């Protein structure tokens, strides 16, 4: 004798089948998605154009800085950052130019933004320490160098900066630098 299938089980099986069938039809390849992404969402295309333009300003700023055209380079870094404020290298490089111009407060602000955007790079924290050291804030410089070394324990410029700051604080030995 054959037992009838309970209607609840049959209904749930049919429901599961109707849910999974459309999902199979919705699958797509990632390459097709990436090719049509700009068509689907114009905001993504706009953002990509902004980033490309920011990169052009960044590269121009870097060239201008190497030519010694500081004011023009600073303006180009600002232009780049208006388009893409996550371009951490632009923040860091702008900070270096500001520090060379003895604008330490703005330099430190730029370095701190760069450090926040790229948490694995020790250079913005090293540069922060260097700016603090140049204005005589040895304790703050020391802390910045320690933070840089926390990111990369083998970053030699930060090791040297830490020793210089310790010497400024009267707790280090300058002979270790030699």
How does pLDDT run across 73-126, given as a tens digit for each residue? 999 999 999 999 999 999 999 999 999 999 999 999 999 999 999 999 999 999
- Please report whether residue 106 resides in a domain: yes
CA separation (Å) from 148 to 35, 48, 53, 144, 161?
Answer: 40, 31, 31, 6, 10
Which has the higher per-residue pLDDT, 31 or 93? 93
Which has the higher per-residue pLDDT, 17 or 173? 173
Whether 139 shows a pLDDT value over 60: the answer reads: yes
Of the listed ranges 39-43, 49-53, 109-113, the least confidently predicted one is 39-43
Domain count, the chain: 1
- Please report whether residue 141 resides in a domain: yes
- Please report whether residue 174 resides in a domain: no
CATH number for the domain including 75? 1.25.40.10
**pLDDT of amino acid 118:** 96
- Please report whether residue 144 resides in a domain: yes
Helical axes 123-134 vs 104-117, angle rounded to 10° = 160
- Please report whether residue 80 resides in a domain: yes
Q: Kindly indicate the confidence band of residue 16, based on its pLDDT and cuts at 50, 70 and 90.
A: very low
How many other C-beta atoms can be found within 10 angstroms of the C-beta atom of residue 38?
A: 14
Residue range 151-159: average pLDDT? 98
- Please report whether residue 109 resides in a domain: yes
Residue range(s) defining the domain that contains residue 69: 42-169
How far apart CA 159 and CA 142 sit, in angstroms, is: 10
pTM here is 0.72
Residue range 20-26: average pLDDT? 39
Q: Kindly indicate the confidence band of residue 3, based on its pLDDT and cuts at 50, 70 and 90.
A: low
């Amino acid at each position: 004798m054959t037992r009838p299938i309970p209607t609840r089980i049959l209904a749930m099986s049919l429901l599961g089948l109707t849910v999974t069938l459309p999902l199979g039809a919705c699958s797509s390849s990632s390459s097709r998605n990436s090719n049509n992404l700009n068509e689907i969402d114009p905001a993504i295309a706009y953002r990509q154009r902004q980033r490309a333009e920011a990169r052009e300003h960044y590269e121009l700023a870097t060239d201008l800085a190497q030519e010694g055209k500081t004011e023009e380079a600073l303006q180009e870094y600002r232009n780049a950052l208006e388009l893409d404020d996550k371009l951490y290298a632009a923040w860091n490089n702008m900070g270096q130019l500001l520090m060379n111009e003895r604008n330490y407060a703005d330099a430190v602000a730029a370095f701190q933004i760069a450090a926040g955007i790229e948490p694995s790079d020790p250079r913005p924290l090293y540069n922060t320490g260097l700016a603090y050291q140049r204005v005589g804030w040895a304790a703050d410089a020391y802390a910045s160098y320690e933070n840089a070394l926390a990111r990369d324990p083998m970053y030699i410029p930060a090791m040297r900066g830490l020793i210089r700051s310790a010497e400024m604080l009267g707790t280090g030995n300058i002979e270790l630098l030699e």
